[in-house]
Amino acid sequence: MKIIQSLASQIEIGDITLSSFANVIDLYSKANIIIIVDENTHDYCLEFLMTNFSALANAEIILLPEGEENKVMEVCFQVWETFTEFNFSRKDLIINLGGGIVTDMGGFIASIFKRGMNFIHIPTSLLGMVDASIGGKNGVDLAGFKNQLGVFNNPSHIFIDVSFLHTLPEREFYNGYAEMLKHGLIADAKLWKDLIVVKSDVELMDEKLIYRTIKVKLDIVKADPKEQNVRMKLNFGHTIGHALESHFLSSTPIAHGHAVALGICAEAYLSLKKKKITQEEYKEIEAVIVRNFPMIQLTDEEIKDVLEIMKNDKKNNGSAINFVLLDKIGEAVININLKQKEIGEALFHLNVLGSALN
Ligand SMILES: NC(=O)c1ccc[n+]([C@@H]2O[C@H](COP(=O)([O-])OP(=O)(O)OC[C@H]3O[C@@H](n4cnc5c(N)ncnc54)[C@H](O)[C@@H]3O)[C@@H](O)[C@H]2O)c1
């Protein structure tokens, strides 16, 4: 069992039945315990928890509808109304059992109700384990824009048990893989090298790789918990990635990790165009993304829409669109303002890569 104390959270990586989870829930024997799940974690992960921890026998189960289109306030309102009906209080405990959507929303629901309930995360997707559950960002989307409403607030505990990943669909591993690659690219060239030789989802279940990826995020977030400066590095791939994810949300949604992978490729291309990374570095990044993620084709109209969405990005400074670029593999640089024309070229480059494959 690896135990890390960071950012007001105790993070335990290893078999949850050997972790302090049982002791933590014992502290709530006189309170209500609420487990938030989505449809899949209800079916695939809940039983394991209930069978192994008898103290959860009377827990209330809150089922969230699955999918990014449901990461919205309307769903939170329904949950808060249920909490009010059940008369839940700040002394109760919320356990968020699920991927990044459950931990983002469950953390938000817990943080707002009666000015803040106790909560813990048990991430069940790879993306949740290496990224979404770590760092204290909780929130929901608004009017098609990602994570527009939210709070910084850390759970008291995060339990990361890779055995939950046995039921995760293969494509979901690649969504987590995208964020792992990003962590290597922005801060740890050795991690990047070790990640790009991974050949299967089974290899991604490696606790050591997961730990090294989490460590990158924790080190950055510890230095800048509220994203005033260096934490922005974690947004590499996300300016374009989030805009693509928002663009497709109302028609044919693409997964967060897939959007981030495309964003990584486009923003690495911009890093090359700005003469920050070498041609060889860019080609290596491009090859990894093209090998592992489906490419897309955007019409001129769609490119315009994606650019429009980017103007509303939280990370912008006034009217300029603000980017994180790579200085080299393993090092990122923040606050690079780019012109729409340059960004449009990077999006067009994604099209070129897509058509080269057909
Ligand atoms: N807070 C942060 O710092 C942060 C960082 C990165 C991403 N995010 C957010 O995370 C979200 C994406 O997270 P995600 O990719 O985990 O999405 P997700 O929560 O939708 O999970 C992906 C899919 O896998 C299913 N699933 C999860 N665990 C499973 C398991 N063990 N077995 C079977 N199915 C399982 C889910 O039901 C869902 O269908 C996005 O909304 C993104 O904005 C937040």
Question: What is the average pLDDT across 269-286?
Answer: 97
Same domain flag for 135 and 77: yes
Same domain flag for 155 and 184: no
Pick the residue whose CA is nearest to atom 6 on ligand 1.
132
- The residue to mutate among 37, 121, 127, having the most atoms of ligand 1 within 8 angstroms of its beta carbon, is 127
For 11, residues 6+ apart whose C-beta sits below 8 A from its C-beta are: 3, 4, 5, 134, 157, 158, 160, 214, 218
Q: Are 155 and 121 in contact (CB under 8 A)?
A: yes
Amino acid at 206: D
Question: What is the average pLDDT across 246-270?
Answer: 94
Where does a domain end: 167, 191, 223? 167
Which residue would you say has higher pLDDT here, 98 or 355? 98
Q: According to the model, what pLDDT value does residue 356 have? A: 74
| CATH code of the domain in which 135 resides | 3.40.50.1970
Same domain flag for 174 and 109: no
Q: What is the 101 CA–ligand 1 centroid distance (Å)?
A: 5
Q: What's the chain's Rg over C-alpha atoms?
A: 20
Query: 292 pLDDT band (50/70/90 cuts)?
Result: very high
Same domain flag for 135 and 177: no
Question: What is the average pLDDT across 327-348?
Answer: 95
Find out whether the beta carbon of 38 lies less than 6 Å from any atom of ligand 1.
yes
Find out whether the beta carbon of 137 lies less than 6 Å from any atom of ligand 1.
yes
Find out whether the beta carbon of 184 lies less than 6 Å from any atom of ligand 1.
no
Where does a domain end: 167, 192, 216? 167
Find out whether the beta carbon of 201 lies less than 6 Å from any atom of ligand 1.
no
Atom of ligand 1 nearest to the CA of 126: 16
Query: 318 pLDDT band (50/70/90 cuts)?
Result: low
Pick the residue whose CA is nearest to atom 37 on ligand 1.
40
pLDDT of 358 higher than 70: no
| CATH code of the domain in which 353 resides | 1.20.1090.10
Buried b (16+ CB within 10 A) or exposed e, 292-322: bbebbebeeebbeebbebbebbebeeeeebb
Query: 182 pLDDT band (50/70/90 cuts)?
Result: very high
Q: According to the model, what pLDDT value does residue 354 have? A: 83
Same domain flag for 11 and 121: yes
Query: 312 pLDDT band (50/70/90 cuts)?
Result: confident
For 331, residues 6+ apart whose C-beta sits below 8 A from its C-beta are: 186, 187, 189
Question: What is the average pLDDT across 174-200?
Answer: 97
* Furthest CA-CA distance within the chain: 62
Q: According to the model, what pLDDT value does residue 319 have? A: 66
Query: 338 pLDDT band (50/70/90 cuts)?
Result: very high
pLDDT of 251 higher than 90: no
Q: According to the model, what pLDDT value does residue 10 have? A: 97
Q: According to the model, what pLDDT value does residue 317 have? A: 67
Q: pTM, whole model, 2 decimals? A: 0.95
Of residues 162, 235, 236, 228, the one with CA closest to residue 201: 162
Where does a domain end: 130, 147, 167? 167
Same domain flag for 107 and 213: no
Q: According to the model, what pLDDT value does residue 298 have? A: 94
Buried b (16+ CB within 10 A) or exposed e, 138-159: bbbbeeebbbeebebbbbebbb
Same domain flag for 127 and 201: no
Q: According to the model, what pLDDT value does residue 145 have? A: 87
Q: According to the model, what pLDDT value does residue 47 have? A: 98
Question: What is the average pLDDT across 270-283?
Answer: 97
Q: According to the model, what pLDDT value does residue 314 have? A: 66
pLDDT tens readout for residues 32-43? 999 999 999 999
Local structure of 37: helix, strand or coil: strand
Atom of ligand 1 nearest to the CA of 66: 37
Percent of the chain with pLDDT over 70: 98
pLDDT of 248 higher than 80: yes
Same domain flag for 256 and 341: yes
Same domain flag for 158 and 185: no
| Number of compact structural domains in the chain | 2
Please state, rounded to an integer, the average pLDDT across all residues of the chain.
Answer: 95
Domain range for 317 is 170-357
Same domain flag for 322 and 194: yes
pLDDT of 357 higher than 80: no
Percent of the chain with pLDDT over 90: 91
Find out whether the beta carbon of 183 lies less than 6 Å from any atom of ligand 1.
no
Same domain flag for 72 and 109: yes
pLDDT of 109 higher than 70: yes
Same domain flag for 132 and 59: yes
pLDDT of 260 higher than 80: yes
Q: According to the model, what pLDDT value does residue 69 have? A: 92
Amino acid at 164: F
Question: What is the average pLDDT across 15-28?
Answer: 98
Find out whether the beta carbon of 104 lies less than 6 Å from any atom of ligand 1.
yes
